A = this chain, B = another copy of it.
Amino acid sequence: MLVRMTTNATNADGPQVRPRRRAPAGAAVLREDVTEAIRAAVFEELATVGYARMSIEGIARRAGVGKTAVYRRWRSKLHLVLDIVSVIAVQGLPAPETGSLEGDLRMLYEVSSRALRHPVASQIIPDLQAEAARNPEIAEALQKALKQGQEEVALKIVAAAEGRGEVRAGLNEELALDLISGPLYWRSVVIRSPKLPKGYLGALARATTEAIKAL
């Protein structure tokens, strides 16, 4: 799985920590394995039926737990999904440092393309994307996840290239990010091509480099 939670460590939107009255209790504590089973079930459900059709009953069914176990942890489908998404967001990609813009881009693409063509991602992301258009909270969570996963790294790469004098200083960074992220996303998620032709990523990195140098 993606993240391991220390038994009670979460705060915002995670499994709820409520104000314990006096004595937290004995061995009647939320079981971590149940929590994890639910999370996994949400992922699968999200991928197969999508957010809109996803039901608490379905999740519990798939996880092999009672509905009560779910409601004990999250107040609603929305909270559940927000938690899940924020969990994904946690993993910050390390910025590559190959010493050249093209090399950095190439490495970024290597990682991103693997992530994007992972069935879970390529199913769930557009789904939440669509949902985000109607739900600001999902939009925010998703932005955060995508931003941290991609944009931040891309920004570092560009800044490094600026520092090396490889590209014009003070270039339009917003546009640079679009040039970096757009094409691969388009191919992986929109066109949904199952496999990238070999040499694709290299050529893409080269072309993108030229594009950014022209800014």
CB within 8 Å of B: which of A152-185? 172, 174-175, 178-179, 181-185
A9, CB-defined interface residue at 8 Å:
no
- The count of chain A contact residues (Cβ–Cβ below 8 Å) is 48
A214 at interface, CB cutoff 8 A: yes
- A184: chain B residues within 8 A (beta carbon): 178, 182
Most chain B beta-carbon contacts within 10 A, residue among A48, A181, A182, A197: A182
**A213 interface residue per 8 A CB criterion:** yes
* Separation of A112 and B209 alpha carbons in the complex (Å): 24
Measured between beta carbons, the chain B residues less than 8 angstroms from A186 are: 178, 181-182, 185-186
Q: Does A5 contact B (CB under 8 A)?
A: no
Q: Does A69 belong to the interface (CB within 8 Å)?
A: no
A207: which B residues are within 8 A, CB to CB? 175, 179, 211-212, 214-215
Whether, in the assembled complex, A190 has its beta carbon less than 8 Å from a beta carbon of chain B, the answer is: yes
Establish whether residues A203 and B215, one from each chain, have CB atoms under 8 Å apart when the complex forms.
yes
Which residues of A are at the interface with B, using a C-beta cutoff of 8 A?
48-53, 122-123, 126-127, 129-134, 139, 146, 172, 174-175, 178-179, 181-187, 189-192, 197, 200, 203-204, 206-215
